Every structure is written in structure tokens, then in C-alpha cells.
């Protein structure tokens, strides 16, 4: 049969040159498909004389086999090349150091304390601290809390044990951070601008009260300070802390022995399917107590009330942490449940700051 060598050369050459599987399949159809060149030639065998057929038959079969095996060989070559190309791009360096999950995490209270400190630092407030075991002068008397005031009674205040012949002033676990106001002014005088975060203690226990909890006190004393400065400061804080632009605060007239006038402050919020939203809605949530520092308090701390005045406020750290991070039960803060800590804890290198972001 004529021309078989040319057909063979043509297909073997094209198969060698095929760049992908689609081109290869095209060649297979053209050569040995139903209507392929070689298949058509095989059909002609029927019209041949037996002698011709005896020569042409084996030649065509050999050609068909050769083309088929060339295609198969090329196909596996293409697959190998594709795999090599993938391996080139999809490799990992197994010798790289791992990224271990850190074992510890920052407790939400510590995180929120850092957040509060960084916001007030940007407003020019320094951090001050005082002892958790206080005497009743600093915790009560100097703050104008009269001996008959209800907060002095045993069921609220933890009194330290005393021997019968002990004539020192009674010691208590401080019931608020306000005594730091006195200690700081005694030492540094006026003007001053401080916040004082720390632990406080009251004999109380339910879903929203624990015998130990956290507060921070704010104190700003100068010659020309008014409730307007207090309002601006607290609004500015809430905007930064809760990361909502349209916070709305409500000042409710109230009473504290150490401030006059006094106000409790609520933040506008709403509950949507159990989810708390701040800044919008018809509900109000109390977040702090505040007011203008009482002249008797300034006097007790050695600051002249004729010359100086200012505002103070006290906010629950646990309370605002619950609000911001959606933590429903205060008691869980102090259970040391590892699953809770892993869920609500913060990465140890995420130090909050106003530029990098207050929370994660
Ligand atoms: N010490 C008050 C409390 O614990 C809060 C407060 C602080 C109120 C400063 C006014 C001024 O409830």
C-alpha cells in the first residue's frame, strides 16, 4: 500500500510535538478515530484482492498500533510534565519553624484595663495606684462618707480582723478606687489628671456581682473644670473604647457623698435577639458614677477648694468588658475555666493603642 510511510512520519512527528492533551486527542481522532485517516484506509482492505490484502492488512495494523502507542507514551509524558510543574509551584519548606499556638492568653480584664489606660493616656491622664487593703480613713472618712452611711455596714464592706487592743484605724478591703483620689492629691497636690485601675471588694455575689471586681477611677483637678469637661471626656472615652461614632450618654442626677453635684451615667443601647448594640435603640445601660469633687474631699486631701475644682468618676472594668466583648456572666471572669479563657482571651502580643487599634 502506498503512502503509509508518509502517514506514519506525519503522525509520529505531530504526536511528538503535541503541547497538551487536547492536541493529542485531536491527533488520535484524525489518525485512528472512526473517520480517521488510518481507519479509512483499513476500510479499503475489503475492496482489495486477497494478495494485496495480505500485505496491506498487517502493514495498516502495525501502523495503527504504532500511532496508538506513541499517543499513550506522549500522554504519560505530558502528565509527568504537568505534575512536575505543579510540584514546582506547590511546595512547602518542611524545615521551616512551626507556628505554635501560644499556651497562655491575656485575660479580658487585663486587656480592657490596657485599653482604658491607652485611651486616657492619649487624653493626658497618668496612671496612679493605691493599696487594696485600705484603712477606713481613706476608704470612707476622707471621702466624706459619714459613719452612719449604709455602704459602711458590714454586709457591704469586708473588715480586716483586729485584735481587741489594736488602736490603729480599722482596715478594710477597699470598696472602691476612690481612696486613690485622696492618696494621690495628698502626695502630688493640684492640678492633676489621673486614672486609677484596680481591684475592689464588696460582699455581694450573683450574676452581675462578685465579691472582688475591678474599677477604675478618674480624677481631673484644675482651676477651670466643669461638668462639661466631664461629659466631653466620658463621651470621648466611650467613642474610642466601644468603637462606635454615635455614642449617646445620659447623665442622671444621683448622690455620692464625695461629689456634688453627682451623676450616674447610662449609655444608649438596644438588645436585638439577645445581641447587645451600643449607640442605638431605646434602652439605657448604667456604666459609671461621677460628679464634681466635693470641696470637703479636696480639703481632706490638702487641696484648697477655693482655688481648685474638678471632676471624678468611677467605672466598672468588668462591666464595660462584658458590654464590649459580649460576655454574659460576670462570675465566669474568675472561674479560671480554660475553655472560657481560650475563647475570650487575647493574644499576648496584641497591646492596644489608639493608632494600631484598641481591640483586635
Ligand atoms: N466610688 C463610686 C462607686 O464605687 C463611683 C464614683 C467615683 C462616683 C467617683 C463618683 C465619683 O460606686
The model's pLDDT over 187-231, given as tens digits with 9 standing for 90+, comes to 999 999 999 999 999 998 887 789 999 999 999 999 999 999 999
Establish whether residue 259 lines the binding site of ligand 1, counting it when its CB lies within 6 angstroms of any ligand atom.
yes
The model's pLDDT over 4-41, given as tens digits with 9 standing for 90+, comes to: 888 889 998 999 998 888 899 999 999 988 998 898 88
Nearest CA to 106 out of 349, 299, 353 is that of 349
111-127 average pLDDT score:
96
Nearest CA to 198 out of 139, 283, 271, 278 is that of 139
In the chain, pLDDT over 90 holds for what percent of residues? 51
Residue 154's pLDDT band (cuts 50, 70, 90): low
Establish whether residue 297 lines the binding site of ligand 1, counting it when its CB lies within 6 angstroms of any ligand atom.
no
* φ, ψ at 122 (rounded to 5°): -70, -20
Nearest CA to 196 out of 89, 286, 117, 88 is that of 117
Q: How far apart are CA 158 and CA 149, in angstroms?
A: 15
Query: Is a pLDDT exceeding 90 seen at residue 97?
Result: no
108-127 average pLDDT score:
96
Establish whether residue 197 lines the binding site of ligand 1, counting it when its CB lies within 6 angstroms of any ligand atom.
no
Whole-Å CA distances, 123 to 194, 218, 267? 10, 12, 21
Of the spans 62-66, 141-145, 153-157, 340-344, which averages the highest pLDDT?
Answer: 141-145
Q: Are 280 and 266 in contact (CB under 8 A)?
A: no
Which atom, in ligand 1's list, is nearest to the CA of 314?
7
DSSP category for residue 333: G
Listed by start position, the domains of the chain span 4-90, 107-347
Q: Are 312 and 233 in contact (CB under 8 A)?
A: no
Set of cell numbers at residue 235: 463621651
CA of 44 to the centre of ligand 1 (A): 107
Sign of CA dihedral 252, 256, 259, 265: negative
CATH code for the structural domain at 107-347: 3.30.930.10
With 0.75 as the threshold, say if the pTM is over it.
no
Amino acid at each position: 500500500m502506498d503512502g503509509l510511510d508518509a502517514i506514519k512520519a506525519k503522525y509520529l512527528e505531530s504526536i511528538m510535538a503535541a503541547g497538551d492533551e487536547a492536541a493529542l486527542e485531536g491527533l488520535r481522532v484524525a489518525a485512528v478515530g472512526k473517520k480517521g485517516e488510518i481507519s479509512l484506509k483499513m476500510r479499503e482492505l475489503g475492496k482489495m484482492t486477497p494478495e494485496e490484502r495480505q500485505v496491506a492488512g498487517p502493514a495498516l495494523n502495525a501502523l495503527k498500533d504504532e500511532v496508538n502507542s506513541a499517543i499513550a507514551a506522549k500522554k504519560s509524558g505530558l502528565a509527568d510534565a504537568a505534575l512536575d510543574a505543579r510540584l514546582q509551584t506547590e511546595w512547602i519548606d518542611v524545615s521551616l519553624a512551626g507556628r505554635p499556638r501560644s499556651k497562655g492568653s491575656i485575660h479580658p480584664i487585663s486587656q480592657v484595663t490596657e485599653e482604658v489606660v491607652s485611651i486616657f493616656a492619649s487624653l493626658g491622664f497618668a496612671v496612679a495606684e493605691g493599696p487594696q487593703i485600705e484603712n477606713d480613713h481613706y476608704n470612707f472618712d476622707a471621702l466624706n462618707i459619714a459613719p452612719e452611711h449604709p455602704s459602711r455596714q458590714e454586709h457591704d464592706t469586708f473588715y480586716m480582723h483586729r485584735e481587741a487592743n489594736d488602736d490603729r484605724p480599722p482596715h478594710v478591703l477597699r470598696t472602691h478606687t476612690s481612696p486613690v483620689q485622696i492618696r494621690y492629691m495628698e502626695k502630688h497636690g493640684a492640678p492633676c489628671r489621673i486614672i486609677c485601675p484596680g481591684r475592689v471588694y464588696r460582699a455581694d455575689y450573683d450574676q452581675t456581682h462578685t465579691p472582688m471586681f475591678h474599677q477604675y477611677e478618674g480624677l481631673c483637678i484644675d482651676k477651670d473644670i466643669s461638668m462639661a469637661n466631664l461629659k466631653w471626656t466620658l463621651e470621648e472615652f466611650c467613642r474610642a473604647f466601644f468603637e462606635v461614632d454615635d455614642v449617646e450618654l445620659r447623665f442622671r442626677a444621683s448622690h455620692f457623698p464625695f461629689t456634688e453635684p453627682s451623676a450616674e451615667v447610662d449609655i444608649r443601647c438596644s438588645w436585638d435577639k439577645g445581641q447587645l448594640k451600643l449607640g442605638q435603640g431605646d434602652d439605657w445601660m448604667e456604666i459609671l458614677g461621677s460628679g464634681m469633687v466635693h470641696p470637703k474631699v479636696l480639703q481632706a486631701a490638702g487641696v484648697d477648694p477655693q482655688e481648685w475644682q474638678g471632676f471624678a468618676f468611677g467605672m466598672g472594668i468588668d462591666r464595660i468588658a462584658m458590654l464590649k466583648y459580649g460576655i454574659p456572666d460576670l462570675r465566669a471572669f474568675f472561674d479560671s475555666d480554660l475553655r472560657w479563657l481560650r475563647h475570650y482571651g487575647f493574644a499576648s502580643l496584641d497591646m492596644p493603642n489608639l493608632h494600631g487599634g484598641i481591640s483586635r
